[in-house]
Amino acid sequence: MKTFLTLVLFVTLVPVRAQKISGKIEGHNKGEMDIVLTMFGFDKLVKIGTISASGDFEINLSANPIGMLTDEEREFYIDKLAYGFQYGCGNPDDFPEGEPKIARDAGYIALWANNEWSGTLFPVSDEKLQPWMEDNGYNDAVQASFYKVLLVTEDVEVQKKCINFDFYNDKDIEVGVEYDLRLKEGLNLVQYQFKSIYKTDPDIRASFPTKIKMTDAGENPEIIWMAKYFY
């Protein structure tokens, strides 16, 4: 059986559109690890950083991994911009800017050691949001931000507001979605801010966001990186 250990990273950012991130995991005792993205599968890991045996870490998002792909792989992995975001418009016609096939959600930020996935990093602005990132069906959302890496194959700006719906207690609950993004070609750190939360009966489902704003993370985002190990 695998056991889990969570540690907190306090982060210092170099002010270059959040492309270089460094800090330290206090109490880290898992040895050296690579920080990778698995968006192209385990056979083509995208290395974006390292953690030293002492817990010092560095992430660099300045490289563009699109060059790793063959034309056939690019056709398979790169999809519509709208599919690159965790939240979207309920009516796709409300987001025509999302139609071009130029994006890939990077998924989890994985810790890699001994040739296996050994843990995960959860970047949040409030530690209380980390359980929601692991399982949003049973853990309540809170008014805070989480961050994800998005790959785009060209520079793109998106300013858009639309609505979607979430289902609760036999009703459709309106969810406001806002995009305010200036993304560069390559890897981008996207901030998902929960601006309001719908409180639920926990016996039915966990509380969920009803107003979400997506922005590029900018120069100095205040991020807490939660590290969860699989052993």
- Per-residue pLDDT band at 18 (split at 50, 70, 90): low
pLDDT tens for each residue of 94-144: 999 999 999 999 999 999 999 999 999 999 999 999 999 999 999 999 999
Please tell me the pTM assigned to this model.
0.90
Q: Residue 22: name the closest of 40, 8, 9, 39 by CA.
A: 9
- Per-residue pLDDT band at 13 (split at 50, 70, 90): very low
Judged against a pLDDT cut of 80, whether residue 17 lies above it is answered with no
- Per-residue pLDDT band at 3 (split at 50, 70, 90): very low
Judged against a pLDDT cut of 80, whether residue 198 lies above it is answered with yes
- Per-residue pLDDT band at 220 (split at 50, 70, 90): low
Residue range 23-39: mean pLDDT, rounded: 89
Judged against a pLDDT cut of 60, whether residue 5 lies above it is answered with no
Per-residue model confidence (pLDDT) at position 138: 95
Per-residue model confidence (pLDDT) at position 28: 80
Residue range 206-222: mean pLDDT, rounded: 91
Residue range 138-166: mean pLDDT, rounded: 98
DSSP string for the chain: ----EEEEEEEEEESSTT-EEEEEETT--S--EEEEE-TT-GGG-EEEEEE-TTSEEEEE--S-GGGGS-HHHHHHH-EEGGGGSSS--SSGGG-GGG-SEEEEE---EEEEETTEEEEEEEEESSGGGHHHHH-TTTS---S-EEEEEEEESS-EEEEEEEEEEEEETTEEEEEEEEEEEEEPSEEEEEEEEEEEEE---TTT---EEEEEEEEE--S----EEEEEE--
Percentage of the chain surpassing pLDDT 70?
Answer: 92
Residue range 33-44: mean pLDDT, rounded: 97
The encoded tokens of residue 186 equal 């390559």
Judged against a pLDDT cut of 50, whether residue 26 lies above it is answered with yes
Residue range 5-11: mean pLDDT, rounded: 48
> Who wins on pLDDT, 55 or 61?
61
DSSP string for 17-84: TT-EEEEEETT--S--EEEEE-TT-GGG-EEEEEE-TTSEEEEE--S-GGGGS-HHHHHHH-EEGGGG
Per-residue model confidence (pLDDT) at position 59: 95
- Per-residue pLDDT band at 185 (split at 50, 70, 90): very high
Judged against a pLDDT cut of 70, whether residue 1 lies above it is answered with no
Which one-letter amino acid corresponds to residue 104? R
Judged against a pLDDT cut of 70, whether residue 14 lies above it is answered with no
Judged against a pLDDT cut of 80, whether residue 7 lies above it is answered with no
